[in-house]
Structure 1
Amino acid sequence: MPFVLALALLADSPAATPAPPPRVERCGYRIVQSFPHDPSSFTQGLFWHDGHLYEATGQYGQSRVARLDLKTGKALVETPLPSDQFGEGITRWGDQIIGVTWKNGIGHRWRIRDLKPLGTFRYAGEGWGVTMVGKDLVLSDGTPQLRFLDPATMVERRRVTVRFAGRPVAMINELETIDGRIWANVWMTDFIVQIDPATGDVAAIIDLSGLHADAGARGTDGVLNGIAWDANAKRLFVTGKYWPKLYEIALANCR
């Protein structure tokens, strides 16, 4: 599906901005290498820290947070969520992992060292993806809006509307922060968007069409979801729900 059409279908409204929209860079990708990924994992959140991937998965009765071995895809340690909760995104805040759930309005904190629970918190609306931008925890909820919260208290500080060519973009899902920009999966598409956290404007688009087929993903749920950035080695990882592969990719053909 062409990107402009995909975003038009996902946009909440046809409202236009009065000023010319900012230029949007467009990039493809190349596969650097691939790694095994548990095909039973309904990937909801992904990040890299201190030599390992951390992954959150969804589905009732199957949701968990886990530290993964990159070379094998196996969980080295994991902690399940309550069976009545549908796990969503996770991010690191200091020595904690903060995660959210889909419709429960319940968030979790785990100690990153051993994934032991540290407590829960409440928030309004749905939880989809989370990431840290500076001192703010950023939450997506399936709408075009990103909420910026105090990670200690979960009090909202501000929010922005994600826009492409002046139009709001819904279905903003899993989040990662790379070099000051928020990278986000757009649910049910093969695209990642880079978002300016100050304005909400989409600054770049990464078209990952073809990766789904390479992974051998099947079913309507087997969509692209999961972005992790190894800041020290400058490695970018992506995967999807129920994908048997996780990829290290590099951007290509940017224009």
Structure 2
Amino acid sequence: MKIIRLISIVLVALIGAASAQAPEPILYGYRILETYPHARDAFTQGLFFHDGALYESTGQYGQSSLRQVDLTSGDVMRRTDLPQSFFGEGATLADGDIFMLSWREGSAFRFDAEDFALKNSYSYKGEGWGLTYDGESLVMSDGTPQLRFIDPANFAEQRRVEVTLRGKPLKQLNELEWIDGAVYANVWKTNALVRIDPETGVVTSIVDLRGLLEAEDIVPGETDVLNGVAHAGEDGVLYVTGKYWPKLFKIELVELTN
């Protein structure tokens, strides 16, 4: 199995110049453990596991949905579609229900995890991008360097933290996943995941995910950016995919050394 060890130009640009007091993030590559099929029509916005089942939220006006997906086959087992006027974004499970954001519509939806019945909806200011759950609060990204912490009972904002990379604000945080006390985030239009300290907002690690797709997997003008990270409880193992990708990957993180 091949270990990806190179840091892309995109990541170098992302890291930028460090401030004098900023910590240096740990750099990771990956090893592919398994490759699974992924629905080509899924503009992936959220990805998470619950009780061994894989769930996915998708975007685009007229195409946005919440899905339960069979990991092995990629088949959609259950789905509910958002109204055509909503652009779906990140989703996660909290307090037994599934919460899903919309992009510019300022609406969040609460679905029953068992039958996807809509139980409630909430309003918020600004855009909705990624969403995860830390066991107490929903954690939401909105395209800015800010992460919002939200009470799942009423969607009231509790606090915010600014995310910084080497001392500088890092914006365009997209799909989120809570893993072992930290927030992992896709950074939109890059091949990077970042690991964020939820108390300080400091990026402590960067994962370089270049090279997942082969040339034959890419349809010009259709296959879009990396987005979608899920954790099933295995130490150092993630599941990742992208928007309109034909594949979903189970990977093992590998620390890069000089």
The two structures share one fold, judged by TM-score above 0.5: yes
Deviation of the 1:158 alpha carbon = 0.9
* Residue identity matched to 2:95: G
* Residue identity matched to 1:157: Q
SS in 1 for 2:231: strand
Task: Give the alignment of 1:1-255 within 5 angstroms.
Answer: 1-8=9-16, 20-213=21-214, 216-219=217-220, 222-231=224-233, 235-255=237-257
Between 80-89 and 230-239, report the one with greater CA deviation.
230-239
Unaligned runs of 5+ in 1: 9-13
Deviation of the 1:115 alpha carbon = 1.2
Unaligned runs of 5+ in 2: 1-8
* Residue identity matched to 2:224: G
Q: Are the equivalent residues in 2 in contact too, given 1:89–1:128 (CA < 8 A)?
A: yes
Deviation of the 1:155 alpha carbon = 1.4
Name the count of aligned residue pairs.
248
- RMSD of aligned C-alpha atoms? 1.8
* Residue identity matched to 2:192: F
Between 98-107 and 227-236, report the one with greater CA deviation.
227-236
Output one character per residue of 1:77-132: Cα deviation in whole Å (capped at 9) or x when no partner. Answer: 10000111000000000210001000000110111112111121111100000111
In structure 2, the CA distance between the partners of 1:137 and 1:53, relative to structure 1 (3 Å rule), is same
Q: Are the equivalent residues in 1 in contact too, given 2:237–2:253 (CA < 8 A)?
A: no
TM-score (norm 1): 0.92
In structure 2, the CA distance between the partners of 1:215 and 1:46, relative to structure 1 (3 Å rule), is farther
CA distance in 2, matches of 1:139, 1:145: 9
* Residue identity matched to 1:130: L
CA distance in 1, matches of 2:157, 2:38: 35
Deviation of the 1:253 alpha carbon = 3.4
CA distance in 2, matches of 1:235, 1:27: 12
Q: Are the equivalent residues in 1 in contact too, given 2:232–2:238 (CA < 8 A)?
A: yes
Q: Are the equivalent residues in 1 in contact too, given 2:10–2:190 (CA < 8 A)?
A: no
In structure 2, the CA distance between the partners of 1:215 and 1:233, relative to structure 1 (3 Å rule), is farther
Correspondence for 2:3: none
Q: Are the equivalent residues in 2 in contact too, given 1:215–1:244 (CA < 8 A)?
A: no
